[in-house]
Structure 1
Amino acid sequence: MDALLAEFTPQTTLQWQVIAARLAMAVLLGGILGFEREMADRPAGLRTHMLVCLASAVFAIIALEIVAMPIFSDDQVKADPIRLVEAITAGVAFLAAGFIIFKRGEIRGLTTGAGMWLASATGLAAGLGLWVIAGLACFLGALVLALMQRLETGLELKKPKDKGNGQSGSKDG
């Protein structure tokens, strides 16, 4: 019974409050990035961006904990934190690519895919405790999504979305 209790006793290097703060920040920042996509009625909106950001933060925290685990302190075991970035980038790129479609001579979904990629980078930064990077990435990403849409519409580079028939003049979705 003691072994079972010991198994469920927190054994992380980071305090649970720090882990909770990093994960909560990732969810919040992912929500900010996904909000504009939700307002633009895109398939990958609020919840998707929040989950991508959260998952990236979880992977980052797991990587930090793995590096600190005594079982991996042997000289035979080498940890390469860059592999984490590569794995998250590849995974999210695959997911984001699913939103990019070519239909009737137009490419759609590029902005949504890019937003998901940014959400993963933001989550990775939050998971690693790189608060300034996570916050600035989120702020600038939200700024680009919100302001550039208005600018493109104002300059008539893109037609405003017609909510009535679900069609959009936006080519980058």
Structure 2
Amino acid sequence: MDWAAELRILPDVLYAMALGGAIGYERELKDRPAGFRTHMLVAGTAALLLGLSRMVLEDAHYAGAGLRIDPLRLVEAVVAGISFIGAGTIFASRGGHGVEGITTAASLLAVASIGITVGFGYHVLALAVTLLTLLVRTVLRWVEGRKAGAAKGGAGAGRD
């Protein structure tokens, strides 16, 4: 396989990184443990792995060599890997009165899924999920903050 064919998946990786970066930027603004760069890397890596699996399946070099790739197994591997990273962002608050980082871990899983979606070639769906994720991260957080503020007798926003 020539190098030009290898570069064919690069636009998908870049697109996934841009989508992951949009979500990561919101996390960065909140000064959360996993921010802009982390989210970009997770989404881009997921897209790369899925694009690579597609590329290997189409490569004549591996034809007849008994190579069998199940893209869904690769999805499972990505999810397992991101679960490990996500677990590192979750920790108990001092005094044992709560847990922090669950939303960041969930956003890492979301960007991995977005990267997987791009890797499979579903660009519009990946963009739609990115926009929905940003909606959840911003608008619903604002609604929760207003609700919590009203319950306490003033305006305020909860910590995520």
Q: Which bracket does the TM-score occupy, shorter chain normalised?
A: 0.7 to 0.9
- Pick one of 128, 132, 145 that aligns with 1:153: 145
Q: Look up the SS of the partner of 2:68 in the other structure.
A: coil
Partner of 1:4: none
Instruction: Tell me the secondary structure at the aligned position of residue 41 of structure 1.
Output: coil
Larger deviation, residues 123-132 vs 52-61 = 123-132
1:60 Cα deviation after fit: 1.1
Q: Over aligned residue pairs, what C-alpha RMSD do you find?
A: 2.0
**Equivalenced residues, count:** 153
Cα deviation for residue 75 of structure 1 reads 6.8
Q: Aligned partners of 2:13, 2:51: CA distance in 1, in Å?
A: 9
User: 2-side partners of 1:76 and 1:21: how far apart?
Assistant: 30
Distance 1:76 1:59 in 2: 20
Query: Post-superposition shift, 1:105?
Result: 2.3
Q: Does 1:48 align with 2:38?
A: yes
- 2:24 is matched with which residue? 34
Equivalence map 1:6-155=2 (5 Å):
9-10=2-3, 12=5, 16=7, 18-74=8-64, 76-103=66-93, 104-155=96-147
Instruction: In structure 2, list runs of 5 or more residues that go unmatched.
Output: none
Unaligned runs of at least 5 residues, structure 1: 1-6, 161-168
Contact 2:82 2:112 in 1 (8 A): yes
Q: Per-residue CA shift, 1:4-60, capped at 9, x if unaligned? A: xxx8x4163x7x3x4232122111101111121111110101111111111111111
Q: What is the percentage of aligned positions where both structures have the same residue?
A: 32
**What's the offset of the Cα at 1:152?**
0.8
Q: TM-score, normalised by structure 2?
A: 0.86
Q: Secondary structure at the match of 2:148?
A: coil
Residue 76 of structure 1 deviates from its aligned partner by 2.9
Measured in 2, the distance between the counterparts of 1:19 and 1:74 equals 24
